Amino acid sequence: MRLAVIPARGGSKRIPRKNIKLFHDKPMIAWSIEAALQSGCFDRVIVSTDDEEIAEVALRWGADVPFFRPAELSDDFTGTAAVIRHAVDWALQNESSLEYVCCIYATAPFISPEDLARGLSRIEQGDCSYAFSVTSYAFPIQRAVRITDSGRVAMFNPELFNTRSQDLEEAWHDAGQFYWGTVRAWLDEELIFGQDSAPVILPRHRVQDIDTPEDWVRAEWLFKAMQAEAKRAEE
């Protein structure tokens, strides 16, 4: 059995109710649910939530909500790994078999069924514990600066000031969309950003982590741009 788990607690602070706030005429979580269902990768798509309204929305869009997440796993400090482990424990007790589990974030409106399928293909090769979405930084991180206590700037890596950009190593970051993992990796809460993880590379224009109102606005503009491009391609 291949299981999708979408964590969606009700206590978002910076963007209240962001998991079910409308994003281009759909609740935000609906984009993740639909991509999971359309991918054909999963035998079951479940939402792990502590919130009745989120559960109702998830059911309406085709996901299952077979349990409510306990309060101790729904605070501001609980990490994703613990939430997925809770869902895996439930599945092992209630399903006949479990092979791979994919954590899909509820605030990933640019997630695609094809990318989920690429992630499954990668982890099925059997040489990694996780396969998750990444994208490249738009600017060399070696040239990053910080603002000092005195209001000045300082490079994090001043020794690289004179190094050409094309000679600097390319850097990547978590795209915040999905994380395929083996059952054992989730149960042991193995480190995701480690040697046993494989990347599923996404283009930067389809990646936007949504934690703040500014992130939300940027995601709206990206979505409109992609819609306009798709319309031009059809003409």
What's the CATH code of the domain at 196?
3.90.550.10
First and final CA of the chain: distance in angstroms? 42
Distance in angstroms (rounded) separating the CA atoms of residues 94 and 75: 25
Is 26 part of a structural domain of the chain? yes
Q: What is the CA radius of gyration of the chain?
A: 19
Across 50-79, average pLDDT: 94
Pairing of strands 2-7, 100-104: parallel
Tokens encoding 213: 């109102």
Distance in angstroms (rounded) separating the CA atoms of residues 29 and 107: 6
Is 48 part of a structural domain of the chain? yes
Across 51-58, average pLDDT: 97
Task: Check whether 235 has a pLDDT greater than 80.
Answer: no
Q: Is the pTM of this model over 0.85?
A: yes
DSSP string of 108-125? Answer: -TT--HHHHHHHHHHHTT
Share of the chain above pLDDT 70, in %: 100
In this structure, what DSSP letter does residue 64 have? B
pLDDT digits (tens, 9 = 90+) for 182-205: 999 999 999 999 999 999 999 999
Tokens encoding 20: 């079910």
Is 142 part of a structural domain of the chain? no
Other beta carbons within 10 Å of 151: 6
pLDDT score recorded for residue 232: 87
Is 141 part of a structural domain of the chain? no
pLDDT digits (tens, 9 = 90+) for 156-180: 999 999 999 999 999 999 999 999 9
pLDDT score recorded for residue 59: 98
Number of structural domains (the chain) is 1
Domain ranges, residue 224: 2-134+173-234
Is 148 part of a structural domain of the chain? no
Is 117 part of a structural domain of the chain? yes
Beta bridge partners of 68: 49
Cβ atoms of residues 111 and 31 within 8 Å:
yes
Is 163 part of a structural domain of the chain? no
Is 52 part of a structural domain of the chain? yes
